[in-house]
Amino acid sequence: MAAPARAGHLRSRARWALIVMALLLACILALLWYVGVFGGNVRVVVPGKVYRSAQLTGNTLDSVLKLYDVHTVINLRGGSSEDSWYRSERAECARLGVAHLDITFSAVRLPPPQQLQKLLAAFDKATYPVLIHCQGGADRSGMTGAIYLNLYQKVPLAEAVARQLTWRYGHISWGEAHAMDDFFALYGRTSGGLDLREWIERRYPAIYASLPPEQKMAIPAEAPAAPASQRHAVPVTRGRALLQGG
């Protein structure tokens, strides 16, 4: 009698273990869906104006462009005709008559001033609604969404950053993509009363030029160089201290 009872007890424990594992897996999958790992991480920045997402392809890209009546796609991740996803995206935009702009940032380096200025020009002149996307839709898209909310919707910067650079959309501020948070922290320490746009255009180029190479992203060849009068306005040692909070 003892052996059958023990076997029944083991089977019961095994069933409970499977139930717990299934529930845990369901919770993990639900969390991954919530932070946008599945489904393209499509988010609304400003209804009817600006949307953000991960890299979308095929029917998903087609559906999102049509659903939100997107007129301009801003690609933040780079790419070239050698990349199948890039060719597909350009072709789909052309088929639907959607403008396509490439403005390249890195998720793990501070944004180059020239690319930021290119982004502001795009926001100034784009035909809306706009879809901005990077690879995962968490970091570069979050930084860009925060910039738009602050400069074009007058949302206080701290609120804009909290809404866009959030774990709910997959951004982990203490991970490799902390450069996105560093950028806004750097502005907070060095703005001197300038709004974000003025700082990007007038002060940030000199600060960026003073930083060590490992904290910068390589600037695409087509981007114009910073004005000579701004390149050396901040000593290198001072630039490093600013990034570190000195």
Domain total in the chain: 1
What average pLDDT does the segment 79-108 reach?
Answer: 95
110: domain CATH number is 3.90.190.10
Tokens 């600013």, residue located: 242
- 3-class secondary-structure state, position 130: strand
pLDDT tens, position by position, 132-185: 999 999 999 999 999 999 999 999 999 999 999 999 999 998 888 899 999 999
Per-residue confidence (pLDDT) for residue 226, from 0 to 100? 38
Note whether residue 18 is domain-resident. Answer: no
What average pLDDT does the segment 105-115 reach?
Answer: 95
**More reliable by pLDDT, 230 or 192:** 192
Note whether residue 7 is domain-resident. Answer: no
Instruction: State phi, psi for 209 to the nearest 5 degrees.
Output: -60, -25
Q: Among 85, 77, 148, which residue's Cα sits nearest to residue 108?
A: 77
Percent of the chain with pLDDT over 90: 65
Q: How does residue 245 score in pLDDT terms, banded at 50, 70 and 90?
A: low
Per-residue confidence (pLDDT) for residue 12, from 0 to 100? 64
For the chain, the distance separating the N- and C-terminal CA atoms, rounded to the nearest angstrom, is 75
What average pLDDT does the segment 40-53 reach?
Answer: 97
* Domain range enclosing 207: 43-243
Note whether residue 229 is domain-resident. Answer: yes
5 token code pair? 């009872």
pLDDT tens, position by position, 206-238: 999 999 887 777 544 433 333 433 333 333 334
Per-residue confidence (pLDDT) for residue 34, from 0 to 100? 45
Alpha helical stretches, state H, the chain? 2-34, 58-67, 84-96, 113-125, 140-152, 157-164, 178-190, 196-202, 204-210, 228-231, 236-243
Note whether residue 27 is domain-resident. Answer: no
Give me the count of residues in the chain.
246
Note whether residue 1 is domain-resident. Answer: no
Note whether residue 33 is domain-resident. Answer: no
pTM over 0.85: no
Per-residue confidence (pLDDT) for residue 29, from 0 to 100? 37
Give whole-number Cα distances, 229 to 110, 113, 194, 225, 232, in Å: 21, 15, 19, 11, 7
Q: Are 100 and 159 in contact (CB under 8 A)?
A: no
Per-residue confidence (pLDDT) for residue 30, from 0 to 100? 39
Q: How does residue 17 score in pLDDT terms, banded at 50, 70 and 90?
A: low
Note whether residue 2 is domain-resident. Answer: no
Per-residue confidence (pLDDT) for residue 25, from 0 to 100? 43
**Mean pLDDT for the chain?**
82
Note whether residue 3 is domain-resident. Answer: no
